[in-house]
Every structure is written in C-alpha cells, then in structure tokens.
C-alpha cells in the first residue's frame, strides 16, 4: 500500500494494492494492523454509503463535540473530496486539502476528526463509502458554507446541486470558536 501525506498533518491518501486480471480485481479496503503500520491508528465504529448524481455537492459537514474521523472512498464514479481544518488553535486552521477519488484510482482519503468534510460528484453517479471513528449525532452536526471565499476551494461545479442546509451554512469566520473542535497535539 502506498501512503501519500498531504500538506496538512494527519490528512492522508492511501493507495491500496489492487490485484487484477481479466476477470476483475481484488482489493483489501481495511486491515487494522496494516493501516496502523502506515500511520492510521484509529478505531472505526460506523460505515455509511451515499449515492449521488453528477453535480451534487455534499458538505462541508463536521460534528462537535464527538468529531468524526473518516476514511472515505468511491466505489463507483468519481468525486472531488475536500477536507478543511477547523480545529481552533491548529497551525493549519482554515487550510484545505483535496483528493480526486474514483473507482479507477481506488484511492482512499483520511479526513481526521476535527475537520469539515465534503465532496462534489464529477461522474454521472457516485457511490461513496465512509468509515467513521464516531457515531453520527444530528445534535452535534455543523456545517460550513461550501463556497466560503476565505477557504478558496476550487470546486468543479459553479452551481452545484445542494441541500437547503448546505446552501445556507455559515462562513467559517462567522462560527463562534466555542462551537468548533479544539486542536490537540
């Protein structure tokens, strides 16, 4: 497995080994010991799958308290995946890391707890898998405005298909610091 470190500490891209032939392919998507040896020592407690059509943008979402780390991958299609460091006190607060995920490159993107997360679907449809380090809790969910100019995210869709909640999310600078996760070393 190849591991690529992003410019934000803890945000990782994994390229699992894929074994293929004329019949198809095999790929191991999670093995606790192997990923721990590669620098990802977390416990996942919940898996989620979403299906979306082209132009759908989901995010930018986070939970606080009880932030979720997420190991995400695309099972079918292609998305631009985005992680934003929103941990108060972090040296990379407000910084963005992105990764193109597809069923062709078979990459996985690790978004640490304390980050906001979102993605935009580039293909006709996308089937998206999340492995989460904390259970989802609607009462602790928050969001950032997808096109917050302070973040400078280069989304591939000028007018994405958004939920009402995502379209009306606040800018990062307008969220009280006490509502955001804290940076811990």
Name the band, by pLDDT with cuts 50, 70 and 90, for residue 51: very high
The residue-averaged pLDDT of 59-68 equals 97
State pTM to two decimals: 0.96
The residue-averaged pLDDT of 41-56 equals 98
User: In this prediction, what percent of the chain has a pLDDT beyond 90?
Assistant: 98
Residues 6+ apart with CB under 8 A from 141: 61, 62, 63
Cβ atoms of residues 48 and 73 within 8 Å: no
Beta-carbon-side half-sphere exposure of residue 164 (alpha carbons within 13 Å): 0
Judge whether residue 140 has pLDDT over 90: yes
Q: Which positions are annotated as active-site residues?
A: 61, 130
Q: Please, is 127 exposed, middle or buried when counting C-beta atoms within 10 Å of its C-beta (0-12, 13-18, 19+)?
A: middle
Residue 158: what pLDDT? 87
User: In this prediction, what percent of the chain has a pLDDT beyond 70?
Assistant: 100
What is the tens place of the pLDDT at every residue in 148-181? 999 999 999 989 999 999 999 999 999 999 999 9
What is the tens place of the pLDDT at every residue in 97-134? 999 999 999 999 999 999 999 999 999 999 999 999 99
Longest dimension (CA), the chain: 55
Query: What string of DSSP letters covers 49-76?
Result: EEEEETTBEEEEEEESSS---EEEEEEE
Question: Taking the domains of the chain in order of start, what are their residue ranges?
Answer: 45-179
Task: Note the CATH number of domain 45-179.
Answer: 2.60.120.10
Residue 68: what pLDDT? 97
Average pLDDT value for the chain: 97
Judge whether residue 5 has pLDDT over 90: yes
The residue-averaged pLDDT of 18-44 equals 95
């Amino acid at each position: 497995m190849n591991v690529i470190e992003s410019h934000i500490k803890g945000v990782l891209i994994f390229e699992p080994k894929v074994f293929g032939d004329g019949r198809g392919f095999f790929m191991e998507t999670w093995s606790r010991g192997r990923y721990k040896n590669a620098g990802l020592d977390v416990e996942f407690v919940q898996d989620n799958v979403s299906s979306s059509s082209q132009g759908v943008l989901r995010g930018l979402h986070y939970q606080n308290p009880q932030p979720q780390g997420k190991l995400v991958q695309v099972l079918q299609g292609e998305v631009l995946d985005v992680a934003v460091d929103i941990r108060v006190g972090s040296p990379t607060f407000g910084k963005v890391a992105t990764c193109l995920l597809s069923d062709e490159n078979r990459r996985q993107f690790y978004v640490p707890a304390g980050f906001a997360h979102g993605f935009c679907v580039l293909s006709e449809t996308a089937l998206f898998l999340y492995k989460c380090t904390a259970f989802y809790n609607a009462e602790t969910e928050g969001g950032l405005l997808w096109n917050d100019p302070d973040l400078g995210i280069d989304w591939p869709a000028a007018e994405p298909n958004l939920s009402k909640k995502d379209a009306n999310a606040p800018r990062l600078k307008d969220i009280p610091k006490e509502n955001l996760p804290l940076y811990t070393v």
